[in-house]
Amino acid sequence: MSSLIEMRQISKLYPNGVLANDRVDFSVERGEIHALVGENGAGKTTLMKILYGMEAPTEGEIWLRGQRVHIRSPIDAIRRGIGMVHQNFMLIPSFTVAQNIVLGREPLDRGLVNYTEALRITEQLSKEYGLKVEADATIDSIPVGMRQRVEILKALHWGAEILILDEPTAVLTPQETRELFTAIRKLTERGKTVIFITHKLREVKEISDRVTVMRNGRVMGTLKTAEASETQIARMMVGREVFMVVDKPPVQRGGVVLQVRDLTHIAETGHVRLRNISFNVYAGEILGVAGVEGNGQTELVEVLAGLRPATFGTAMVDGQSLLNHTPRKVRELGVSHIPEDRLTYGVALDANVAENTVVDRYYRPPFTRNGFLSVGFIMEFGNGLIRQFSIMAPDASVPVRALSGGNMQKVVVAREFSSQPRLLIAAQPTRGIDVGATEFVHQQLIQKRSEGCAILLVSADLNEVMSLSDRIVVMYNGAIVGVFPDAQKVTEEELGAYMLGLKKQDPAEMEAYL
């Protein structure tokens, strides 16, 4: 008997040259809960987008219920019984739960939408699958966990036989996660099939029947969950492929530059994103922050850079408070920041290279003299950085839009490195750029370290963290769960265990090394 879904030799090559899926084979049996795990960028989401019709595969075949199919759009997928619950919910905030569930196929009564019937459908679905929702409440008034249940019910209402859940627990509290798992089991009891994307191994063990591990766009294997140990899965996920060699002089640690104590951040949604974080960064060292994305690293960086408020706690640079200031004040205290999302924060695409390199200092001499912008000087400065950082651009008057991703990142790096920072916060500094540019950025980071700069390196790329850092801390679920005072002496398996929440150091023990 053939599998319910079979994806054969799927490859996806994006126009920018990224090979997100490389001859992937993936199959799912009817009625199972199949976990799909892998680090960020491993290609899980791309694979599921292909199955859901949001992306077309470059190569490969999809077989559904023993027949070859071409899934052209999400609607096409829905009609074939495939539903997907995205991380950002596809809901209309001012509509009620029931209205959202029936949206697109509202029940009619003499030409008008029968809301009573919609409520009845919702209640019935809710009862049938044990997914509790308030049918008559509007989406913007209910908690995230319930919104997710609404999404699942919506998919079921569309007749989904196969449900893809994209990191469903990322937004949930532990209690809500337990409720979700109960509901998922109920779904499979009723013959539904669930594909569960995650990178939390505890959840894989708890919920899934089988697990497929992906890494770097390839499938590393599919295992029966009962027969696999967490360490085995972890090794498949984070095993190092190529060891990056970075020439690095021995660390010469100076005084404390950044001192963070009990830093807590509660997002506007009410979720606790950072829990009592404390650590120091010393002059002349690189402190690496490892962790699976979404465990508070983004918030940590943005709070320190002045882009988000802190709820409690302190952070000092050279003894001066850093928190809840404007980004300008933070920068004037000697903090530089390479943002994780280059296109959102890092550059203004339609401004030229020179203009992009002075956004943090344009108002100061020598960039502004006697109230006037020194245009010639700024252009020269930009040209200087182009040479110094080998940016592939004819000159500093070209708009940044004309550059490649790697060269855009070099513009960001050039700006942030050239301000002589005391503290450099580098978030995902090499994401999405080519090997040459990556190597260059790494060299520059080492160079800054030798100059006595304190560097906080946040990266989802374990290779990068391990080869560059002097010390490493691991973040999990908004807290620091492990600290490794000597980055040379730690293995990727060990880090992986902390990153995936399998292990946790005692806070009292960690204190001495933070």
Partner 1 sequence: MSFDVVLRSILSAAFVGSVIRVATPILLPALGGLISELAGVTNVALEGLMLIAALVGVVISAFTGNAWLGCLIGVACSAVVAILLAYFHLNLKADIILSGLAINIASSGGTIFILYLLTKDKGSSSKLASLSLPRIAIPVLDGMPVLGPMLSRHNVLTYVAVLLVFLIWVFLYRTRLGIHIRAVGENAEAAGSVGINVRRTRYIALMLSGVMAGLGGINMSMGYLNMFQRDMTAGRGFIALAAVHLGNRRPLGVALASLFFGFADALSNQLGSLAIPPQWVQMIPYAATVLALVVYALQGRAAAVERARRLQERLQAHVEATGGE
Partner 2 sequence: MKERRKQGWFEFARAVGTILAALLLGFIITLFVSKEPIAAYRAFLLGPLTRTNRFGNWIEESITLTLVGLAICLVFRARQFSLAAEGQLYLGALVSGLVGLYFQMPALLHVSLAVIAAALVGFLWGLIPGLLKAYLDANEIVSTLMLNAIAIRIYNLILTYRLKPPEAGYTVSRYFHPTALLPRIVPETRITTAIFWAIAAVFVVYFLMYRTPFGYALRMTGANIRFAYYGGINTKRVIYLTMAISGIFAALAGAHLSMGIHQRVILNVSMGLGFEGIVVSLLARNNPLLIPVTALFYGYLRAGADIMERSSDVTRELVMVIQAVIILLVTAEGFLAFLQRQMRIRRGAELAEGKEAGDVI
**Interface residues with partner 1 (CB under 8 A)?**
74-75, 78, 89-95, 99, 103-106, 108, 111-113, 115, 140-141, 143, 154, 158, 173-175, 266, 268-272, 477
Q: Restricting to residues 378-397, which ones interact with partner 2 according to CB under 8 A?
A: 394-395
Q: Is 363 in the site for partner 2 (CB under 8 A)?
A: yes
| CB nearer to partner 2: pick between 221 and 405 | 405
Sign of the Cα torsion 86, 88, 90, 93 reads: positive
- How many CB atoms neighbour CB 332 within 10 A? 14
81: closest CA among 180, 24, 132, 156? 156
Rounding to the nearest 10 degrees, give the CA dihedral for residues 243, 246, 247, 249. -110
Residue 426 Cβ vs partner 2, minimum distance, rounded to whole Å: 14
Shortest distance in whole angstroms from residue 386 CB to partner 2: 14
- Shortest Cβ 364–partner 2 spacing (Å): 9
Q: Pattern 209-248, binding to partner 2, x per CB under 8 A?
A: ----------------------------------------
Residue 242 near which of partner 2, partner 1, none (CB within 5-8 Å, type-dependent): none
- 74 close to 53: Cβ distance less than 8 angstroms: yes
Shortest Å distance, C-beta 55 to partner 2: 23
List the alpha helices (DSSP H) in 93-241: 97-102, 115-129, 144-157, 174-189, 201-207, 230-238
Among partner 2, partner 1, none, what binds residue 13 when CB lies within 5 to 8 Å by partner kind?
Answer: none
Q: Where are the beta strands (DSSP E) in 339-493?
A: 368-369, 372-373, 423-427, 454-458, 471-476, 479-484
Beta bridge partners of 222: 212
Q: Which entry of partner 2, partner 1, none binds 371, CB below 5 to 8 A by partner kind? A: partner 2
Indicate which single residue of 398, 446, 479, 514 sits in contact with partner 2 (rule: CB under 8 A): 398
Nearest to partner 2 of 241, 350 (CB atom): 350
**Considering CB distances under 5 to 8 angstroms, the limit depending on partner class, which of partner 2, partner 1, none binds residue 394?**
partner 2
Which H or E run contains 445? Answer: helix 435-450
268 touches partner 2 (CB under 8 A): no
Report residue 280 CA to chain centroid gap: 24
Chain contacts with partner 2 (rule: CB under 8 A) = 305, 307, 326-328, 330-331, 337, 339, 344-351, 355, 358-360, 362-363, 367-368, 371-373, 375, 394-395, 398, 402
